[in-house]
Structure 1
Amino acid sequence: MVREQWARNSEFLLSCVGFAVGLGNIWRFPYLCYRNGGGAFLVPYLLFLVFGAAPVLILEIGLGQFMSESGTGAWNICPLFQGIGVANLVMMVLVNIYYIVVLAWGCYYFVMSFQPVLPWSHCDNPWNTPRCSLTKQMPCMVSNGTFNGTLNMSVVACVKDNTTSTVDPSVEFWERKVLQMSSGIEESGGVIWDMALCLLFVWIFVYFCVWKGIKWTGKVVYFTATFPYVVLITLLIRGLTLDGALYGIKYFLIPDFNKLAEAQVWVDGGTQIFFSLAIALGAMITLGSYKKFDNNFYRDCFIIMCINSGTSLLGGFAVFSILGFMATEQGVDISEVVSSGAGLAFITYPKAVLSMPLSHLWSAVFFFMLFLVGIDSQFVHVEAVITPIVDMFPKYINKPWHRMAITAVYCACAFLIGLSMTTRGGIYIFTLFDYYSASGMVMLWVCFWECIAIGWIFGAKRFYDVIEHMLGYRISPFLWICLKFITPAVTVGIFFFQVVTFKSATVGDSYEYPPLGEAFGLLLAMASMICIPITMIVKLRKIPGTLLERLRRSVTPVLKKKQIPKKWISQGMCQTVTVIEDEDEAEERFSLEKSSAMI
């Protein structure tokens, strides 16, 4: 079966940009930049981009294009490390379950933006409590978790004055109407049907955008990957016209170089860029596998990196211009306004639009952008699961309706599991998935083994030969140095720092998970991490011979004839490669033999 390919390279670029440019570019990057020294944060961010994330991005897209396979198939280049592909698949399955829940929340807010009166603008709703009060002060306590490294889950507790504790209506709308939070993970409290219907709608939307494969998805991303920039620029222009906008941008960018002496700033910079480029999830390998063998993926990688980082800066200007306006309106320091993730998306921004003319319009525009920014990431999330399944069974999944059926079954199963996060105890389940399943430690673990597999076992020099075979020229030796030495050191360094400073997940200011809940979270993290060593052991046990012979065979690349560089043939290096017949060539030969027999 001939593998599908992108109709145009622009479709590949838009899909990569749509996947990499996600929720974190809009608010987590600005928040981290503000918290870690403003413009000074760009120093570790850019250094780790050059020496850490960029080499891995080039590795993944180049590997996908060279092997024309996703998942475990791509790691036939070094079969002992096929567990990396399995780990990618497990991570993406878990991410698909909870990432889309944020989009369901966004859909709900989008619908609520068309109410005659915005429901978070007053305290006369059935869900409001006597503590609800309209106040110009912002909530006083923010408790943070993480959302896939891209969305910081903030639950805002209360607003305190000198006499009593009050709660802003935007907080009560989020906690008591949208989440309807129970007392803990032990109390599910039943399904919130409004949220369940929003989740169902988003899954149906995703299905009909990916059901026909990349030929169809490539057309959809022309809108989903570009229109958010129209909305973001519109919000930026509107934000810059507000009083206090320059005050907010000053807080966003003004450098505090003293922060560079703190280790946490460097760790935040490193983890943010790895998350931001969405590497170590297998999706970039999948997207690269649909490229033509001789496409200039090297150039494309630089385009993706520039657009991704540029979007982070654009999002920072847009967000902080509005936060500066809020601080000016309320007469408080911007540090009392700034928040990240859900605190910004579902509390701070809804509160901000109340002070803006045409508040309904700007609320709808913001949540429409939120939906589009997240939905094209979800497309690729699903594609990164379906494609490896199709690649594993090419003889059985060889018709368009086969793929449609598998995609439908997968989306239905993911939706049913995700329903647990639309219950009144769903936020506690969501936070566990969010905090553990694709955390910084998990992604850095995978990145490290990717660099070891290509830089040391397959060999950085041979990978350069592969790149030259595809591009027709030899690239700068800088990538060789990074894959061999710098990037593994960067990933393992940040990994161990996060292990040493690890803190358990919490929800809100005080809720701590019971031992079973914490154990479940750790299992989510280990589910993908353990795939790499287990796959190594299984492969070594299956190969006959001494341990040395097993190791030698397990790291021998399994390639097709067309993938062998001419340099290897002239230098007699083909003896270190297992050459298999290309499936397309085999099908063509079989057709010719069958035609000859009939004649």
Structure 2
Amino acid sequence: MSGATQDRWGSQLEYLLSCLGYAVGIGNLWRFPYLCYRNGGGAFLIPYFLTLIICGIPLVYLETTLGQFASAGCISVFNINPLFKGAGYAVIVLNVIASIYFSAIMSYPILYIYHSMSSPLPWQSCGNSWNTVNCTEYPFQITGNSSFFTSNGSITTPEDEYFHRHLLQVSPNINHIGSIVAPVFWCNLICWILVYLCICNGVKSVGKIVYFTVLFPYVVLSVLFVRGITLPGAWKGIMFYIFPDWAQLAKPKVWADAATQIFFSLGPGWGGLVSMSSFNKFHYNNLRSSMIIPIVNSATSIWAGFVVFSVLGFAAERTNVPVSQVATAGPGLAFVTYPATVTMMPAPNLWAITFFVMLFFLGIDTMFVTIEAIIAGLLDEFPRFKSRKRIIAFITCVVLFSFSIICNTEGGLHVIGLLDSHVAILCVPLVCALEIIAAVYTYENFSFDVLFMTGRPLRRIWMVLWRYVILFILLVITLYSLLEVSSLAGWFITLVSVVCIPIYAAKVLLRAEGSLLERIRASCRPSNDWGPSEPEKRREWELLKKQKADIFPLNDLDKY
């Protein structure tokens, strides 16, 4: 790796915006607000921000430090501990699977943008060719715990039938994959073409595009926020969202939900943060950005909650039902509940187009970084192909598009649900745990590396959090998430990326010499490729490391 040419961000603002675009995605809009109201409203913010401080920020800081110091992607960063390098390949598999289903999700906003140009909106009423006899327009009687805008067993709504029956033509279950749904297929192709055009020049193109794709959704959120709070009934929805239920804090599930949301929304363990930070200038002080990214991400989630629940409050007011019966999470919020709500607003086409354009840009940034993480990770390991990055990017996009076609079928929504709920629950926490072990347990000079890179010593609090606190939180998140796995297919998806870790570790140990313990110890030492990629910085680092060896056993907490 030493001496290899490395792309750099045109400015540190490009890096910050790219990381924000990666961290802030559609989950901020359709998952956090629902979790917040379900887990005690304003009271949920206590475990949420506590987890942000003691887990989210330290993990972002660790990953960006590792990536920036070694100018390495998700695979080569494990040169710090070759025994764990299989975790890098696990991240590649993880991102491949995530790209397959996420691109299909991003085709939905494109479809809705197109159909939002029709007047009246096609999901506004029953009586269309795709509607069933159960389709009923409001007002109607709500029973049980049904959501107002989705099927409750005896009736369905026009919005629900439009999304599931007309757009996606959803099959009864995952066992019936069915045929390709042409409109979804073509929108998926458009999505991949746009992704390739944006990433073909690497960070040079991504760094410029994010000025629009990251900032534009904030403009739209602002517009939707102003519009939302001026709607009748908006404050009913907002109070439902933020009113604290302190009794919820006594439930372990609330704390587990907070930790899980922080963990999976920020993106540590996915390789994106490592990849983006690898393009930083070597002496960039990444601590500040490592705090800004999680804080802005969390603030955006809270702000999006006001936007969502102001509109849901309006829907509840208009339909004369409780807010709890219009509040949903996941795709149902974005593609059923919100479309239903805009039909009740003046100028519904304008607000529908505005919302789905914002949704598309929220998701496309995440795709940029996800694909770039795959490409950067592979090119770091096979640097001879770096001169052909455009071709590699093209081949990567074509292959991933081909894999994603299964999510464009009638059973595609079931496949998406299976992949989304299982692919990361074990791999991501395990990768983060291995990063911590590699950096602060088996490697003796991490603190010295931070001092050399930034000119500032690593404070003791970071070492305490990494060594003792975060590993416990990762264990809790993993156990909590694994409880949700209930099928053989779910276990397969959960383990398919993780198997790379023991397979690669076995390969490393077989090539080593000595007893098993000697092989493990030797394999946990950094490889010769670990260190700054710039030759001049590397020589300076190696010289100082020798001179300071007896002064900086820097992972020793007693020295701070």
Report deviation, 1:202: 0.4
String of CA shifts for 1:283-302, please: whole Å, max 9, x gaps: 11000111111001111111
Contact 1:139–1:156 under 8 Å retained in 2: no
Which secondary structure does the structure 1 equivalent of 2:328 belong to?
coil
Alignment of 1:310-325 (within 5 A): 310-325=299-314
Within 5 Å, give how 1:246-261 maps onto structure 2.
246-261=235-250
Partner of 1:3, secondary structure, is: coil
Distance 1:537 1:140 in 2: 56
> Is the 1:120–1:169 Cα contact (8 Å) retained in structure 2?
yes
For 1:446 and 1:404, locate their aligned partners in 2 and report how far apart those are by CA, in whole Å.
29
Answer whether contact 1:140 1:157 (CA < 8 A) is retained. Answer: no
Superposition pairs of residues 49-448 of structure 1, within 5 angstroms: 49-137=52-140, 158-159=151-152, 165-395=154-384, 397-399=385-387, 402-439=388-425, 441-448=426-433
Moved more, 50-59 or 518-527: 518-527
Structure 1 residues without counterparts, runs of 5 or longer = 144-153, 505-517, 577-599
User: Is residue 498 of structure 1 aligned with residue 474 of structure 2?
Assistant: no
Q: Is the 8 A contact 1:155 1:343 kept in 2?
A: no
Partner residue of 1:20 out of 23, 35, 43: 23
Contact 1:11-1:222 at 8 Å conserved across structures: yes
Aligned to 1:35: 38
Unpaired segments ≥5 residues, structure 2: 532-537, 554-560
Question: Which whole-Å CA distance do the structure 2 matches of 1:136 and 1:447 have between them?
Answer: 49
1:327, 1:529 → 2: CA distance?
A: 44
**Deviations 1:497-540 (CA, angstroms, capped at 9, x unpaired):** 333x3343xxxxxxxxxxxxx43332221012222222222111
Query: CA contact under 8 A between 2:448 and 2:552: conserved in structure 1?
Result: no
Report deviation, 1:416. Answer: 1.4
The residue that corresponds to 1:530 in the other structure is: 499
Answer yes or no: is the 8 Å Cα contact 2:34–2:329 preserved in 1: yes
| Cα pair 2:149 2:157 within 8 Å, conserved | no
Q: Which amino acid aligns with 2:521?
A: R
Structure 1 residue 377, shift from structure 2 partner: 0.5
Higher mean C-alpha displacement, 23-32 vs 230-239:
23-32
Say what the alpha-carbon RMSD is for the aligned residues: 2.1
Deviations 1:451-508 (A, max 9, x none): 222221124xx32221111111114311110111000011112222333x3343xxxx
Change (3 A) 1:195 1:45: same
Contact 1:141 1:156 in 2 (8 A): no
Q: Structure 1-normalised TM-score?
A: 0.87
Q: Distance in 2 between matches of 1:21 and 1:71?
A: 20
Q: Deviations over 1:254-277 (max 9, x none)?
A: 111100111110110000001111
Amino acid at match of 2:439: I
1:188, 1:423 within 8 Å by CA — same for their partners in 2? yes
**Aligned residue pairs: how many?**
542
CA distance in 2, matches of 1:493, 1:224: 35
3-state DSSP of counterpart to 1:366 = helix
User: In structure 1, what is the Cα distance between the partners aligned to 2:140 and 2:101?
Assistant: 32
> Corresponding residue for 2:465?
482
Judged with a 3 Å threshold, the aligned counterparts in structure 2 of structure 1 residues 263 and 137 are, in CA distance, closer, same or farther, namely farther
Q: Offset of 1:187 from its aligned partner?
A: 2.2
Mapped contact 1:5–1:292 kept (Cα < 8 A): yes
Secondary structure of 2:443 counterpart: helix
**1 or 2 for the larger relative contact order (CA 8 Å, sep ≥6)?**
2
